[in-house]
Amino acid sequence: MSDFGLLLTAPEGKGAFHSSFHHRYGKTPDMELNLIDSANLLGSTSSFSIFSFNVTVPFNPSKTSKCPSHFLVRMGKRNNNHNNKIETSKGFPQKEYSKGNLSRILRTEAAVKGIEKKANSQKFTNLSPKAVLEALDDSITNNQWESSLKKFELLRRQHWYEPRTQTYAKLLTMLGKCSQPRVASLLFERMLSEGLKPTIDVYTSLVGAYGLGGLFDEAFQTIDEMKSVSNCKPNIYTYSILINCCMKLRRFDLIDNVLSEMSYLGIGCSTVTYNTIIDGYGKAEMFELMDNALTDMVETGRCLPDVFTLNSVIWAYGNVERIEEMERWYNEFQHMGVSPDIKTFNILLKSYGKAGMHEKMVSVMEFMEKRFFTPTIVTYNIVIGIFGKAKNIEKMEYFFRTMKYKGVKPNSITYSSLVSSYSKAGVITKKIGTIIKQIENSDVVLDTPFFNCVISAFGQVGELDKMEEMYLKMMENKCIPDHITFSTMIQAYNTQGMVEAAQELEMKALETKNTSVSLSRTRDQTRF
């Protein structure tokens, strides 16, 4: 049996680690990771105004600057000469919905858009609660903080509005994710002005907003304030949020202080807390501290390592190609009774691929099939990408065919890997037509990185007409060109001696960059 076969075979007997674990807990590890849910969005109310924001329109290069003359002429020719090839009614599909949900989705989208148009007006004060709350929830879910605050203003102008702390907690959490700690502070002050008393959820969300924004002094001050408020004492969830912020911003110097404070208050770490610490140290390649945290977790006798712990540890070692340690910990977790999930196998695949151990990758896929683990789109994208980078086109195509046979739909990442791999192998001109045809007959949603791959592939082989055709398709699909798009095309023009076209495209790229910076500064200056 191969090493990997031994690795992935669940141990028959009880190892020393497993026996110790079972002796402490008297049971096998609980596989469920319990997280505290954020507050549900409820309606809130007062006629008090919070912020006024100017409308900012996302930058669209096609509307803010003219194409260079040579570039525009070439684009125009491609559009006229190949109008039948670049389909306007069909083209690359954007999205497809099932018939059963289509009408409901359209109604919801229409309602949300209607609310967005009314958010900047002062006259709408009796709108449908369902429509307003759905529109606000949509913006919060998508972390659109400016849009969310405008819709929150609209909500507060409604006659039926009643202030609720749950709404503020959800907004504060979103502002933390968007790195807007100062706005979160102002929002908290507005909540107080409405006569609402902060709850532990509100305080915890504010701590997270400060922490993710790098304002750790304010985060610790908020926790100190919580200690003086009855029924709002910081709990394990509050400290877990703070520790998560420290880990994400790599403020490892603060971790010991937080843990000491928790110990002083009699608050023990939970499984979530330990997992946060282990994952943070692992991502920072601080392996000794990661192992120490894992040892502490097991020795407490209260917290059970779970699949999240497993995935964090093997990812950390696999990411730096320390395969032996990765495999050893995989086996240790199996002895502890922690079973792998699909993410575990994806981590193994990526780690073996990064280390160039392709045979073990195949063994993982075979093991998954035997144990009835269904590969996901992420699984296939990892395998296809790795074999493609290794120029093993045969294996790459085999897994691509298997993917489709198993009913897993390729996405933009899949096709980007195929294009990039064919380009490196020098067979892009033979294969690209098939890829384009497959995309046109599917509902895959394309993105800027995909078009950059195709544009680069055609540029490298000097097929500028096709490169420009893909640029047009990119614009048709409303994928905004980035600096990679422009630099790739400029290099292609220079390689073919088209210096003037390259210079004009450089001017367009510079104009695009300057306009984006200008709009960003204007947005920053008009927030309040």
pLDDT in tens, 145-199: 999 999 999 888 888 888 899 999 999 999 999 999 999 999 999 999 999 999 9
Q: Which residue has the tokens 């907690």?
A: 169
Give the C-alpha separation, 40 to 44, whole Å. Answer: 12
Distance set, CA 479 to CA 360, 448, 470, 473, 474 (Å): 38, 5, 11, 9, 5
The pLDDT value given to residue 302: 86
What is the pLDDT of the chain when averaged over all its residues?
81
- Compute the distance between CA of residue 333 and CA of residue 316 in angstroms, rounded to an integer: 15
**Phi/psi at 44 (5° precision):** -130, 170
Give the pLDDT score at 36: 29
- Three-state DSSP class for residue 391: coil
**How far apart are alpha carbons 400 and 409 in whole angstroms?**
10
Burial classification of residue 294, based on how many CB atoms lie within 10 Å of its CB (0-12 exposed, 13-18 middle, 19 or more buried) = buried
CA distance 208 to 107: 35
Please give the distance of CA 67 from its chain centroid, rounded to a whole number.
Answer: 33
- Residues 415-454 as b or e (16 or more Cβ within 10 Å = b): bbbbbbbbbbeeebeebbeebbeebeeeebebbbebbbbb
Nearest Cα to Cα of residue 223 among 261, 272, 264, 277? 261
What value does the CA radius of gyration of the chain take, rounded to a whole number of Å? 27
Chain segment 209-247, per-residue pLDDT in tens: 999 999 999 999 999 999 999 889 999 999 999 999 999
In 3D space, the residue among 325, 307, 313 whose CA is nearest the CA of residue 283 turns out to be: 313
Q: Is the Cα torsion angle 299, 300, 306, 312 positive or negative in sign?
A: negative
Q: Is 217 exposed, middle or buried (0-12, 13-18, 19+ CB in 10 A)?
A: exposed
Which pTM value belongs to this model?
0.74
Task: List the structure tokens of 406.
Answer: 């198993």
Q: What is the three-class DSSP state of 411?
A: coil
Residue showing tokens 């076969």: 5
How far is Cα of residue 124 from the mean position of the Cα atoms in its chain?
Answer: 35
Indicate the Cα dihedral angle 304, 310, 312, 313, nearest 10°: 110
Which portions of the chain are predicted below pLDDT 50?
Answer: 1-68, 73, 82-90, 95-97, 99, 102-107, 517-520, 522-528
Taking the chain, what is the end-to-end CA distance rounded to the nearest angstrom?
A: 67
